[in-house]
Amino acid sequence: MLWTPKALEADREGRKSPPRKPATAERNAGRFSGTGKGTMADSREVMNIRQASQYLGVSPDTLYKYVGEQKIPAFKLGNRWRFKKSKLDQWMEEKSSEMEPQPKRKPKTAAKAAGQL
């Protein structure tokens, strides 16, 4: 038990001590443990390099490269790169739609070889 001045005074007088606040670790136990909304990377809107690299499934070095080439949405907070989850989701959606297969057309040389001019 955490002994505060009020708790010591109550103990000396034989009264019940006032309820104590849980320690910080106890208060935060459910916050990032996978219970509730999800893991820390899933529930955070702003992520650091490590969190964003895990979220995207690339190495931190690759992510630094993309940031340097301005291929991925990011911003600096102080001297650290930060990534908004919503912007990353939007960026991935745009990139995935760019990669959708286009209808295949026969190249001109194949059309010529087939006798179609």
3-state secondary structure 49-112: HHHHHHHHCCCHHHHHHHHHCCCCCCEEECCEEEEEHHHHHHHHHHHHHHCCCCCCCCCHHHHH
Question: What is the extent of the structural domain holding 86?
Answer: 37-90
For residue 48, the 8-state DSSP code is -
How many domains, the chain? 1
- Give a yes or no: residue 114 inside a domain: no
Q: Would the pLDDT of 6 be above 50?
A: yes
Decide which of 34 and 70 is more confident: 70
What local confidence, expressed as pLDDT, does residue 44 receive? Answer: 74
- Give a yes or no: residue 19 inside a domain: no
Q: Which residue matches tokens 């690299």?
A: 53
- Give a yes or no: residue 14 inside a domain: no
Output the domain CATH number for residue 71. 1.10.1660
Separation of alpha carbons 117 and 102, rounded Å? 23
What local confidence, expressed as pLDDT, does residue 97 receive? Answer: 87
- Give a yes or no: residue 73 inside a domain: yes
- Give a yes or no: residue 47 inside a domain: yes
- Model pLDDT for residues 7-21, shown as the tens digit of each residue: 656 556 666 655 565
- Band (33; pLDDT cuts 50, 70, 90): very low
